[in-house]
Amino acid sequence: MKTRFNTYLLIVISCVTFSSCEVDVTNDLTIETAAPKLIIEGGLERNLKNPLDRQRIRLTTTRDFLNNDTQTPLVEDAVVTVSDGNTPYVFSYAGDGFYENTEIAPVVNGEYTLKIIWNEEEYEATETLNEVPLFDAIYSVFEEETLVTDEGYFAKFDTTDPEGIANFYYHRIARNGEFIVVPDPGNSDVLVISDEFFDGQQRVGVNPNDEIIFEIGDEAIVQQLGISEHYYDYLYEVFVQSSAGGFSFVGNPPPESIRGNVKNLTNSANRPLGFFYAADVEEAKLIIRE
Amino acid sequence: MTNLKMAVWLGCILYSGLLYGQQEFTLSGYIQEASSSEKLFGVTLVLNGSIGTTTNEYGFYSITLPADNYALEISYLGFQTIRQEITLQGNQKINFELVEETNELDEVVVKSNRVAKAITSTEMSVATLKTETIKKIPAILGEPDLVKSIQLLPGVSSVNEAASGFNVRGGSADQNLVLLDEATLYNSSHLFGFFSVFNSDAIKDVKLYKGGIPAMYGGRLSSVLDVKQREGNAKEFNGLASVGLISAKALVEGPLGKGEAKEGKGSYMIAGRRSYADAFTFLSSEFKDVSAYFYDLNLKANYELNENNKLYLSGYFGRDKFGVKGLVNTFWGNGSGTLRCSSVLSDKLFLQASGIYSNYSYNLDNLRSGAEFRWKSVINNYNFKPRLSWFINGNNTVKVGTDFTYYNFKPGQISPLKGSSVVPQTFQDNFAFETGTYVDYQQKVSEKLSLQYGLRWSTFNRLGKAEVNQYETGNPLTYDSELDNYIVNPVVGTTTYKSGETIKSYTAFEPRFSMRYLLTDNSSVKASYNRMNQYLHLISNTTSATPLDVWAPSGTYLKPQSLDQYALGYFKTFKEGAYDLSLEGYYKNIRDVTDFKNGADLLFTESVETEFVQGNGRAYGLELQVNKNEGKLTGWLSYTLARSESKVLGINNNQYYPTNSDQLHELNLVGIYKLNNRWDFGANFIFGSGRPVTYPTGRYSQNGLVLADYSDRNGNRLPAYHRLDISATLNPKSGKNGKWTFGLVNVYARQNASSIYFSEVSEVNDQEVATGQTQATKLSIFGFPLPSISYEFKF
């Protein structure tokens, strides 16, 4: 279990000094931009409750960090395949950087290898799909405002962790059909969790994302994903980096680009970013009531 | 074998001492402060203008000389010099009392050789500060602070205003040995670095060794901060209380076993301090769920058993609390107790021994619903430190001793709170035994040349009971150059060690050497070399240390860090000591410096060996300090030019990169102006060139969030830092007891960048959303002038 409690120390800094201040310096800085790198985003999902008609992987490249005027550069001319050890499935380009395949049917404990050929360089990554336990119950609860959450209705669930297996979970939530995530310091505590300290136990009242508030009548889709340890470590770093800002004294990690699981077999110096994952998805729908 | 060698070497030294002439007698005794009988450390005694000695930590001196008439001069900064004729025709014990220089302005300033010690001592890279000076320097929120004050000296700095600890000559905060009455403190900060754990009222003096560290000290690479608590007034009962913006403090002191006598057989001092920052958090509804405060207690007592034997007891207990309702609750701090005895075995032999217990612990409660638990981590250590000092004669002094330390680390205990389903769990204890056996020899070779040299033999044994993981390749981690990342190797088995069984042992010889050569009566050159070994590592995955970082002992997979430091200095006084100057250069080479691997997770990890990597470091620099010691205006100017770099496999493409404490230029100007008997003014100006920062070199998104790509670690620089602080002290009229102190930090409202960070714009119209837009934000911890007021009264 990882807990980035340090993020909240910023609060004490503010109340001790009354004097701290933040200034937007976006337009005062010039930062250097490195040559574009390949970004892999996506993977395979096995969803028994709501079976997917296709699997998607998105390929893009990096761009200038502070320039908000340009669009995400897309990679449109790559050759993408995923193999389950027997059959290579070709993912064909479907626009907006997405590569899709409708044939592949992910299975529990399946080992999948992604291969990408782009700009005469070959990339590769391997992931194993881990089974996820089901929800025991799903319900909505009203909660008062706290320092880090607003007042409102939350979608919560109960679930029982299987004993004797190291499990890693990732939570996703949709409000009225739209999956939402916000850059919040709590993400690394809330959106991903390992069973290190509750192996084999039932967890009651799990809030999949305490930033997402519902109103009566809203429809919630709650997902619990079983993921690999490697993807858990990766997502943990993603959530820390995307929300921690730069306060060294509140436990900011050293500024390092986050290492994924994709290797460049042709030229390891031109390291790609992103992750190719395989996940098992438990899903439930809920209409928020009083 | 090594023990035998040392015994032979020691024997030679001792024998050489006996070769001196027959008609010699010893002058010895204690030197104390007149009003309170506090023993004074570092008082200079000079006989016939040249032969000299200084008092030790217990205020004891001893000097052996041929029978003759001597002109004795005793001097100590801030005290009136004593001049006395001594006829030495037999062993003599004389105790002296020094009287503080009065505040009268028309006083005839005694231009003694009170700063001559800086010239004549073999010590270099040493800084001393007295509480009175610390109290006159402008302080953040009016809380006089030792650690913030030493940062105004050359070669001492901090990563930012809110970083725990301090950095010495480019070293990290865990490389400082912080001693409070000989007890090791593991965390020197309150409230995440805003304040230090030292209550300035309870502190007598402080000495910081940045280099040329004598053989008596070991266990940390970069520095020794030796802090001594006040002993208390042996003549009369006194009290001191103060209220400021951040805390209230009280101190009482008085004699022990006084009876009808003029002076007690001993004395005591008890001091307490409690912040009331939590009171402010109720002012704003925004902070209603936050509680944050700290407190500490200082205690010291001493008792004279008889003329030659004294007993000392000192203690410290401090705690910090920080909590956010429904989220997190933390509680941490140091505690220590020291029992010491000092014994004058003969005129020339002084024995001291200390038994110390110290403890550092923290609790972290996760209060998020569904997974409430408490995490508890503790370090206990037990020390025994005997030391024998032999004052052979005026030119030779030997100190021998051994420091024994037994460690018991309890790295983690997890227990469920509020009936949550978290499974209770305890990580295995780590046990270790450390020794440091040393000989330190001070030798005056000639009028011009003095030497201090020694050897420390340190050992470190990790002990059972323990189970140690064995990894497939023999190492916990393998560097994968394709992923540019470390892969954790599979555990293939464990080795079980019985209770007390040695798991891994390390030994090292640490030579120490320093020399002083007098060029003229008022200038000298000095050189020093020291090798240090550090067996404990503070493993932190943040850019600056926090109280919850993990201390890990060396063992099967974690190697000790070691350092070699070379320093050269030039020292000069001007105008009969009114000014003095020091110029020093140093070079440090560090092996096996620890760093975390990318994405290290330390807080709840039992096998920390899979989270860190070790590499090499180097640091070098030039330090200049000019002091003005006399007149209405006193103070100093210090300038540091320095570099500090590390090289670790898997970080920064395996190239050297600047450490977080790297700062090329640092300039401090401190002035204290005495207007009249009632008003004192203080000011300090700080200038530092930009600290290292890493700017992103690319942007991409994952799972709906914006991320940054980086290339060179610490490859960019923040803007330069500068700040002016002022203070004024209104001393009481004669016969009155109240004192007011006013302060203003950051006078001209400079918005210094504590950090510049890059993030996704995450708030629109008060709603948290992922916008996909990026921004750069500068954070200033002191954004505008910060005033303070405090009131202190004696009773």
Spatial neighbors of A126 by CB under 8 A, at least 6 apart, are A111, A112, A113, A114, A261
Contact B762 A237 (CB under 8 A): no
Contact residues on chain A for B330, CB-CB shorter than 8 A:
5
pLDDT > 50? residue A285:
yes
Count interface pairs A-B at CB distance under 8 A: 327
pLDDT > 80? residue B547:
no
Contact B410, B377 (CB under 8 A): yes
- The two three-digit tokens of residue B180, written as one number: 């409070």
- Select the residue from B605, B703, B764 to test the A interface by mutation, using most A Cβ atoms within 10 A: B703
pLDDT > 60? residue B111:
no
Contact A261 B421 (CB under 8 A): no
Distance from CA of A57 to the nearest CA of B (A): 12
Question: What's the CA gap between B226 and B727, in Å, rounded?
Answer: 27
Model confidence pLDDT, tens digit, residues B177-228: 999 999 999 888 887 777 889 999 999 889 999 999 999 999 999 999 999 9
What share of chain A in percent tops pLDDT 90? 66
| Least confident piece of the model among B112-121, B246-255, B556-565, B620-629 | B112-121
With cut-offs at 50, 70 and 90, classify the pLDDT of residue B544: low
- Select the residue from A5, A167, A198 to test the B interface by mutation, using most B Cβ atoms within 10 A: A5
pLDDT > 80? residue B696:
yes
Distance from CA of B611 to the nearest CA of A (A): 12
Model confidence pLDDT, tens digit, residues B556-573: 999 999 999 999 999 999
Model confidence pLDDT, tens digit, residues A102-138: 999 999 999 999 999 999 999 999 999 999 999 999 9
Question: What's the CA gap between A272 and B1, in Å, rounded?
Answer: 56
Option in A19, A61, A254 nearest B783 (CB): A19
> Considering only residues 506 to 545 of chain B, which have any Cβ-Cβ distance to chain A shorter than 8 Å?
541-544
pLDDT for A73 equals 94
B285 vs A: CB within 8 A: no
Q: What is the mean pLDDT of residues A224-241?
A: 92
Contact B542 A6 (CB under 8 A): yes
Contact B287 A15 (CB under 8 A): yes
Contact B197, B187 (CB under 8 A): yes
Return the biggest CA–CA distance within chain A: 63
Spatial neighbors of B33 by CB under 8 A, at least 6 apart, are B39, B40, B79, B97, B98, B100
> Considering only residues 51 to 110 of chain B, which have any Cβ-Cβ distance to chain A shorter than 8 Å?
none
Option in A25, A238, A251 nearest B702 (CB): A238
Closest alpha carbon within chain B to A232: B599
pLDDT > 80? residue B381:
yes
Option in A12, A182, A199 nearest B768 (CB): A182
- Select the residue from A3, A40, A121 to test the B interface by mutation, using most B Cβ atoms within 10 A: A3
Question: What's the CA gap between B451 and B453, in Å, rounded?
Answer: 6
Contact A137, A224 (CB under 8 A): no
With cut-offs at 50, 70 and 90, classify the pLDDT of residue A214: very high
Residue whose token pair is 């990342």: B485
H-run or E-run covering B44: strand B44-47
Contact residues on chain A for B284, CB-CB shorter than 8 A:
15
Contact residues on chain B for A265, CB-CB shorter than 8 A:
482
Contact B694 A258 (CB under 8 A): no
Question: What's the CA gap between B552 and B411, in Å, rounded?
Answer: 9
Model confidence pLDDT, tens digit, residues B740-760: 999 999 999 999 988 888 888
Contact B542 A3 (CB under 8 A): no
Query: What is the DSSP secondary-structure string of B610-625?
Result: GTEEEEEEEEEEEEEE
pLDDT for B369 equals 66
Contact A198 B371 (CB under 8 A): yes
B451 vs A: CB within 8 A: no
pLDDT for A249 equals 45
> Considering only residues 581 to 620 of chain B, which have any Cβ-Cβ distance to chain A shorter than 8 Å?
596, 598-599, 601, 603-604
Q: How remote is the C-alpha of B380 from its chain's centroid?
A: 19
Residue whose token pair is 């508890």: B376
pLDDT for A245 equals 56
Option in A24, A248, A251 nearest B159 (CB): A248
Contact A157, A224 (CB under 8 A): yes
Determine the residue type at A231.
Answer: Y
Closest CA to B409 of B368, B362, B369: B362
pLDDT for B100 equals 80
Contact residues on chain B for A168, CB-CB shorter than 8 A:
none
With cut-offs at 50, 70 and 90, classify the pLDDT of residue B15: very low
What share of chain B in percent tops pLDDT 70? 91
CA dihedral B101, B104, B109, B110 (to 10 degrees): -30
pLDDT for B286 equals 57
Question: What's the CA gap between A170 and B502, in Å, rounded?
Answer: 43
Contact A11 B546 (CB under 8 A): no
Q: Count H helices and E strands in chain B, helices first.
A: 5, 55
B262 vs A: CB within 8 A: no
CA distances from B663 to B158, B174, B344, B549, B756 (A): 10, 18, 47, 24, 16
Option in A18, A26, A254 nearest B543 (CB): A254
Contact B596 A248 (CB under 8 A): no
Contact residues on chain A for B371, CB-CB shorter than 8 A:
1, 193, 197-198, 203
pLDDT for A229 equals 92
CA dihedral B198, B200, B201, B205 (to 10 degrees): 90
- Select the residue from A58, A159, A237, A242 to test the B interface by mutation, using most B Cβ atoms within 10 A: A242
Spatial neighbors of A226 by CB under 8 A, at least 6 apart, are A129, A130, A131, A132, A133, A167, A168, A169, A279, A280, A281, A282
Contact B755 A247 (CB under 8 A): yes
Q: What is the mean pLDDT of residues B36-44?
A: 84
- The two three-digit tokens of residue B423, written as one number: 């499974």
Contact A203 B330 (CB under 8 A): no
Contact A65 B699 (CB under 8 A): yes
Option in B289, B699, B778 nearest A23 (CB): B778
> What count of other Cβ atoms lies within 10 Å of the Cβ of residue B411?
21
B280 vs A: CB within 8 A: yes
pLDDT for B237 equals 92
- Select the residue from B610, B709, B711 to test the A interface by mutation, using most A Cβ atoms within 10 A: B709
B756 vs A: CB within 8 A: yes
* Domains of chain B by start residue, with CATH: 2-114 (2.60.40.1120), 226-464+499-794 (2.40.170.20), 465-498 (no CATH)
pLDDT for B613 equals 86
Closest CA to B547 of B265, B189, B87, B107: B189
With cut-offs at 50, 70 and 90, classify the pLDDT of residue B264: confident
pLDDT > 50? residue A244:
yes
pLDDT > 50? residue B106:
no
| Least confident piece of the model among A14-28, B127-141, B413-427 | A14-28
pLDDT for A11 equals 52
Closest CA to A152 of A96, A100, A213, A202: A213
Option in B193, B483, B693 nearest A249 (CB): B193
**What are the helix (H) ranges across A18-128?**
none
Q: What is the mean pLDDT of residues A206-215?
A: 91
pLDDT for B25 equals 86
pLDDT for B569 equals 95
Model confidence pLDDT, tens digit, residues A133-175: 999 999 999 988 766 677 889 999 999 999 999 999 999 999 9
Q: What is the mean pLDDT of residues B621-648?
A: 93
* Domains of chain A by start residue, with CATH: 38-130+260-278 (2.60.40), 131-244+281-287 (2.60.40)
Contact residues on chain B for A241, CB-CB shorter than 8 A:
707-708
Q: Higher confidence at residue B38 or residue A100?
A: A100
Secondary structure (3-state) at B180: strand
Distance from CA of B126 to the nearest CA of A (A): 29
Contact B774 A62 (CB under 8 A): no
Secondary structure (3-state) at B681: strand
Q: Higher confidence at residue B312 or residue B20?
A: B312
pLDDT for B285 equals 56
Contact B768 A184 (CB under 8 A): yes
Residue whose token pair is 């499974």: B423
Contact A248 B292 (CB under 8 A): no
- The two three-digit tokens of residue A122, written as one number: 């070959």
Q: What is the mean pLDDT of residues B513-525?
A: 93
Contact residues on chain B for A20, CB-CB shorter than 8 A:
779-783
Closest CA to A286 of A232, A234, A212: A212
Contact residues on chain A for B280, CB-CB shorter than 8 A:
15, 18
Q: What is the mean pLDDT of residues B477-485?
A: 84
- Select the residue from A256, A263, A267, A275 to test the B interface by mutation, using most B Cβ atoms within 10 A: A256
Region of A200 (left: φ > 0; alpha: ψ -120 to 50; beta: rest) is left
pLDDT for B556 equals 92
Closest CA to B312 of B345, B259, B349, B268: B268
Distance from CA of B584 to the nearest CA of A (A): 31
Question: What's the CA gap between B328 and B371, in Å, rounded?
Answer: 12
Contact A255 B769 (CB under 8 A): no
CA dihedral A54, A57, A59, A64 (to 10 degrees): 110
pLDDT for B255 equals 93
| Least confident piece of the model among A249-263, B453-467, B496-510 | A249-263
pLDDT for B76 equals 83
Question: What's the CA gap between A118 and A40, in Å, rounded?
Answer: 12
- Select the residue from B779, B784, B786 to test the A interface by mutation, using most A Cβ atoms within 10 A: B779
Closest alpha carbon within chain A to B716: A31
